[in-house]
Amino acid sequence: MAKLFVICGHGAGDPGCCAGGYTEAERVRALGRRIRALGGSEVELGDMSRNWYADGGINRLDTDAPVVELHMDASGIATAHGAHVIIKSGFEPDDYDKALADKLSAFMPGRAEKIVRHSELANVNRAAARGINYRLCENGFIDNDGDREKFNSNIDELARIYLESFGIKVTTSAPVQQTPLKQPAKQATVIESFGGRYRCTVFRLNVRSAPSLSGSVVASYGRGQTVVLDDWYKSADGYIWGRYTGGSGKVRYIAVGRATGKPEADDYLVKE
């Protein structure tokens, strides 16, 4: 019987956070595969072709094993770095949470808190409502060069942290993991082509202080107005968010369109 069920965040057209020629969805799937390869039959790897957030998969998940959902963070701030564990607000961390938080923060330090509580994250709430032993882990910041390099170069060490935290022995039959190319050409092309001048296609499009619907509205664009976005983008709350630096010198975020994995005719911002 499996001792750990692993969910890889984003996917199915949703890249998650993107930086340095990599996407969050691809990287956490690489980690998920290594956890499964090194952990053998004691690890069950959830269907990686799905987006477990978008399709509500936890609402139908049938497992008695503790669950971990893998993610990487992004902030747009080069100095932000480190890993941590997220659990449901009002819950106390169990032994799995504590072990995982201690090991992850030692492997990839930088967060003010090793364990944080959230009440607004869909899968955190879905798991809590069903009594599933669940935590979400941010494995560093994909837009921090140090975190990204540590993740890529030491992915088996990171995978072993998960296995050790859940009392799983490493199998000796797993093939050696090869270090990925630092700049996968296909993904880098996507990221490099994202930046540029965009035209607003809707009556009113909010500008926010953070790349999510929870960010404060600080300005807006109207139909026909243009904005120049840089090459960074992030998927959150079902949307792809672009970024630019305003006249005040502050970084601002704006929803480009729905997170479908490609430009759409009904996007809120269309590249000129």
Average pLDDT, the chain: 89
Q: What local confidence, expressed as pLDDT, does residue 189 receive?
A: 32
Neighbours of 223 (CB within 10 A): 12
Kindly give the parts of the chain with pLDDT less than 70. Answer: 172-193
Share of the chain above pLDDT 90, in %: 70
Phi, psi of 111 (to 5 degrees): -80, 145
Residue 16 backbone class (left: φ over 0; alpha: ψ -120 to 50; beta: rest): left
| Domain regions of the chain by residue span | 4-165, 193-271
Q: What is the pLDDT of residue 181?
A: 45
CATH number for the segment(s) 193-271: 2.30.30.40
Q: Which residue has the tokens 């340095």?
A: 20
The pLDDT assigned to 192 comes to 45
**Which of these, 206, 216, 199, lies nearest to 255 by C-alpha position?**
206
User: What is residue 224's predicted lDDT score, i.e. its pLDDT?
Assistant: 93
C-alpha 9/C-alpha 28 separation (Å) is 7
State the pLDDT at residue 116.
Answer: 97
So what's the pLDDT on residue 185? 34
Token readout for 128 is: 């809590």
**What pLDDT, on the 0 to 100 scale, is given for residue 248?**
85
| Residue 123 to residue 52: CA distance in whole angstroms | 8
pLDDT for residue 152? 94
Q: What is the 3-state secondary structure (H, E, C) of the chain?
A: CCCEEEEECCECCECCCEECCEEHHHHHHHHHHHHHHHHHHHEEECCCCCCCCCCCHHHHCCCCCCEEEEEEECCCCCCCCCCEEEEECCCCCCHHHHHHHHHHHHHCCCCCCCEEEECCCHHHHHHHHHCCCEEEEEEEECCCHHHHHHHHHCHHHHHHHHHHHCCCCCCCCCCCCCCCCCCCHHHHHHHHCCCEEEEECCCCEEEECCCCCCCCEEEEECCCCEEEECCCEEEECCEEEEEEECCCCCEEEEEEEECCCCCCCCCCEEEC
Least Cα distance to 107 among 179, 160, 45 occurs for 160
pLDDT value at residue 239: 86
**Torsion on CA atoms 114, 120, 122, 123, rounded to nearest 10:** 20
Q: For position 26, what pLDDT does the model report?
A: 94
Answer yes or no: CATH 3.40.630.40 is held by domain 4-165: yes
**Which pair of structure tokens corresponds to residue 98?**
């504590």
Per-residue pLDDT, 180 = 54
Q: What pLDDT does 17 receive?
A: 87
pLDDT of residue 218: 92
d(CA 215, CA 209): 5
